[in-house]
Amino acid sequence: MKALSTLILTIVLSTAGIGLAPTAYAQQHGGMGPMHKMHKGAGGWKASLTTEQQNQLAKLKLDFKKKKYPLMAQMKQVKVELALLITADSPDQKVINKKIDNIVDLKSQKMRLKAKHKIAVRKLLNEEQRVKFDMKILKKAFHGKTKGYHR
């Protein structure tokens, strides 16, 4: 009986230790494991930025987000309004179509803003950094923005 209890306790503790190992590793290494770093391209274009480039990039990023977030908030609001129009007791297709056009316009504004930001970032980079940056853009264009692992 005591041997069985010891065996169960050993299995439970071993399993708990295995479950905690990735968390401990992530805490010690900045939140990412070695596979995550490899998957994210740890040697990418950002790794070789100078301090001046990092400062310029931070400013560009802040300016971009200041313009992007109001668009996203407005888009969320319009999407909620669209959902309410669709679920109304007697939906009006013309009003629904106008909301859809509004959403498409907001998405277009956001895409233009993002393209302008990427062009500004490219101008900061040297030739080697630009090649890596361009490869990342092309890869994302082909694979799209995925959620989760290996989709």
User: How far apart are alpha carbons 74 and 80 in whole angstroms?
Assistant: 10
User: How far apart are alpha carbons 142 and 18 in whole angstroms?
Assistant: 37
Residues 6+ apart with CB under 8 A from 107: 75
Three-state SS at 3: helix
For 129, other C-beta atoms within 10 Å of its C-beta total 20
Q: Is residue 59 over pLDDT 90?
A: yes
Q: Is residue 80 over pLDDT 80?
A: yes
Three-state SS at 89: coil
User: How far apart are alpha carbons 109 and 78 in whole angstroms?
Assistant: 14
Alpha-helical regions (H) of 41-150 = 51-86, 93-124, 127-143
Query: Given this model, what pLDDT does residue 111 score?
Result: 96
Inter-axis angle of helices 51-86 and 93-124, to 10 degrees? 170
| Domain coordinates in residue numbering, the chain | 1-41, 43-151
Domain made up of 43-151: CATH architecture:
Up-down Bundle (1.20)
Q: Is residue 124 over pLDDT 70?
A: yes
| pLDDT tens by residue, 103-116 | 999 999 999 999 99
pLDDT (average), residues 91-106 = 97
